[in-house]
Structure 1
Amino acid sequence: MPTRPSLLILSFSPIRSDPRVLKQVQLFAPDFDVTTCGFGPAPDGVVEHIEIPRDARAWVDDKVSIATRRYSRAYWNIKAVADAQPKLQGRRFDGILANDLNAVPLALSLNPVHGVHGDLHEFAPREKDDNLQWRLMVAPFMRWLCRTYLKQLTSITTVARGIADQYEADYGVTVGVVTNAAPYAARDPKPVHSPIRLIHSAAGQRYRKLENFIELMKDAPANVTLDMIVMPNEPDYVAELKTMGAGVPGLTFRDPVPYAQLVETLADYDISMTFLPPTNFNLAHALPNKFFEAVQARLGLIIGPSPEMVAILEQYGLGAVVPDFSVESLRAVVAGLTSEGVAQWKRAADAAAHDLSAEAQNAGWTEAIRRLFATVQPS
């Protein structure tokens, strides 16, 4: 039997529950011997999984090396990198798909036959640029990683055009776009509920300003309800939100659901609130999973004036754009909702579901890996 080419998918994340990386595994496992390396148990369909302990942080915390600008030492001292390196050292892969900037140097060090494709999930040099300490200490390290390693990659993709443009402008590399689209789901739009059911599903992180939704519901019209599914990324913040929301009419916090069940869960609602104040560069250019999950659930969308989302929403007629990121403007849009208008948005989502599916978007990865395997790196 002929052997299939080997592909390592490297991600310092729990791959079984990481939607973007899981799509890569599902896309390439039929044609490659896929090995994964990341946190948690093996995803389905791989020939091997190299597990990194969950307590091995993937974040740089060697403060001395960062402060003294010994950036190479700081990188190789990242706990997740230090755990993965000896497990991967000496292995020879035909190709590697490295997820996020913190996986790129390790992937390149393995010298795969055909090179490394980098999939960058954020604009790393400005990932937390709302935090002064991060800007002063970590951002220079991220810029060093980009300057040192990005041009060594055979190809690069990222999640949105604005982020790709910034990488190209700052580091002189060509970057393709593969959005965070959700897999196509065959379903019909459900009738609009009375009251209209709003949903917001999000990571529980303070910079996302989820308290805006609580303020919205304190004076929302009686014909809407809002459920919030908030992941416990920052448990203290999530606890604050639940305290703030206690007793607010029409507001309910729901427990998180597994990713595989999320679109089915969302389908019981009418509108997804994908309203992300631009508190940092990446949120300003956000084109998040939840936008595309709403389309596959056949929901309408209410978004802020985030340019990446606005372009797609207006192209397909998927919902409403709030003119700014104030609670007052958001409340005015919600107050103007009608069952007829929401039903039209849900029909538009149904019409756009194929175009905006992962199956359509994944062509960017397929082509990148095809080109990767058409080259041979110098030994």
Structure 2
Amino acid sequence: MSHRPSLLILSFSPIRSDPRVLKQVKLFSDLYDVTTCGYGDAPDGVVDHVEIPREARGWVDDKVAVATRRYRRAYWNTQAVADARPKLTGRRFDGILANDLNAVPLALELKPRFGVHGDLHEFAPKEKDDDLRWRLTVAPYTRWLCRTYLKQLASVTTVARGIADQYEADYGVKVGVVTNAAPYSEREPAPVHSPIRLIHSAAGQRYRKLENFIELMKDAPANVTLDMIVMPNEPDYVAELKAQGAGVAGLTFRDPVPYDRLVDTLAEYDVSMTFLPPTNFNLAHALPNKFFEAVQARLGLIIGPSPEMVAILEQYGLGEVVPDFSVESLRSVIARLTPESVAAWKAAAHAAARDLSSEAQQKGWEDAIAALFAEFVPGD
């Protein structure tokens, strides 16, 4: 019998390539007997892994049940839930860390000895509130999940203070914050290139309006170039972007790289543009991975007026805030770039890198899971 608590990390995602969940695995596998459940192969360091087929959807797809508000049926018919449930039923865990709202009901049903911690990666009830059909059909279902299950959790964390405040206001649960900070990277800022090298790394989703960057580069100053790394989330949209960008001077599309190589790749550049038009609630409160990855790569940052990012950028002097989300305002900021200003931002990122690393930011998880296991007795 192990002398350490057993912890299930449950996530309907490919854990080996999910930055947030992978950080949880690395953090807790040194402290507890960690079992993971998710898509794909087992991550390093775990004692066991329960694999969910990649084709099993992790979000609700029983349209009849959703339309008729038979929400319990809708949840338990979700493909990933239906696959994982029999594989996990009968197994005993001391605690469970459930990633995202769609993992919470299953985690609670498994009845771990000391309870469930929920890590909510977005504000689920408004995840796609820019889509009318989603607001009318899926949003009521996600609100039901929140009302029914959140208060049963032992503790809750999320990615940004604005999202935490909304959960607290709407559902009466206390929510801590663990940002999407990247692991600390030991490096020095690289000299500023000539021309200045800009980078934007993003999920290829239409609501992110990535075409703005193509418009930017059609009339950009000659002293900058822009590379875009776009994940193929919506392949048709990504193909459209590449067609629009063909022949635009200074613009290059670069293939995605594995997460463990991303910071090294970013370090080849000078400035990361983390510019996210607030097309829905979660983007309005965005504090994304790419913001923190840029800091670890020792880049400057150009961001829109997203409040979560603005607060940190201004505290540490990491770059410049564009006053609005127009291409014209972004172009104006780009036109003022100098090697000296970019070098100062890169130096500020270097000074802030430890404070803004995942190692410094993960205390919320550490404390929550330690509290979960406060009454654990080895050999009990």
Name the aligned partner's letter for residue 320 of structure 1: E
Name the aligned partner's letter for residue 179 of structure 1: T
Over aligned residue pairs, what C-alpha RMSD do you find?
0.8
Task: Point out where structure 2 has 5 or more consecutive residues left out of the alignment.
Answer: none
Q: Distance in 1 between matches of 2:256 and 2:287?
A: 21
Deviation of 1:3 (Å): 2.6
The TM-score normalised by the length of structure 2 is 0.98
Alignment of 1:325-344 (within 5 A): 325-344=325-344
SS at match of 1:174: coil
SS at match of 2:189: coil
Name the aligned partner's letter for residue 177 of structure 1: V
Name the aligned partner's letter for residue 36 of structure 1: T
Deviation of 1:38 (Å): 0.2
| Aligned counterpart, 2:288 | 288
| Aligned counterpart, 2:278 | 278
Task: Point out where structure 1 has 5 or more consecutive residues left out of the alignment.
Answer: none
Deviations 1:184-228 (A, max 9, x none): 001000000000000000000000000000000000000000000
Q: Distance in 1 between matches of 2:29 and 2:301?
A: 33
Q: Distance in 2 between matches of 1:374 and 1:280?
A: 39
Deviation of 1:2 (Å): 4.8
| Aligned counterpart, 2:77 | 77
Name the aligned partner's letter for residue 38 of structure 1: G
Name the aligned partner's letter for residue 288 of structure 1: P
Deviations 1:98-150 (A, max 9, x none): 00000000000000000000000000000000000000000000000000000
Deviation of 1:59 (Å): 1.4
Q: Does 1:188 align with 2:188?
A: yes
Alignment of 1:238-277 (within 5 A): 238-277=238-277
Alignment of 1:1-379 (within 5 A): 2-374=2-374
Name the aligned partner's letter for residue 178 of structure 1: V
Deviation of 1:157 (Å): 0.2
**Relative to 1, partners in 2 of residues 1:65 and 1:2: Cα closer, same or farther, differing over 3 Å?**
closer
**Relative to 1, partners in 2 of residues 1:213 and 1:75: Cα closer, same or farther, differing over 3 Å?**
same
Aligned length: 376
Deviations 1:134-172 (A, max 9, x none): 000000000000000000000000000000000000000
Deviation of 1:374 (Å): 1.7
Deviation of 1:375 (Å): 5.2
SS at match of 1:138: helix
Name the aligned partner's letter for residue 202 of structure 2: A
Name the aligned partner's letter for residue 342 of structure 2: V
Q: Distance in 1 between matches of 2:147 and 2:288?
A: 27
Q: Distance in 2 between matches of 1:371 and 1:268?
A: 41
Name segments (4+ residues, structure 1) moved above 4 Å. none
Matched residues, percent identical? Answer: 83
Q: Distance in 1 between matches of 2:99 and 2:314?
A: 30
Name the aligned partner's letter for residue 319 of structure 1: G
Deviation of 1:27 (Å): 0.1
Q: Distance in 2 between matches of 1:54 and 1:253?
A: 27
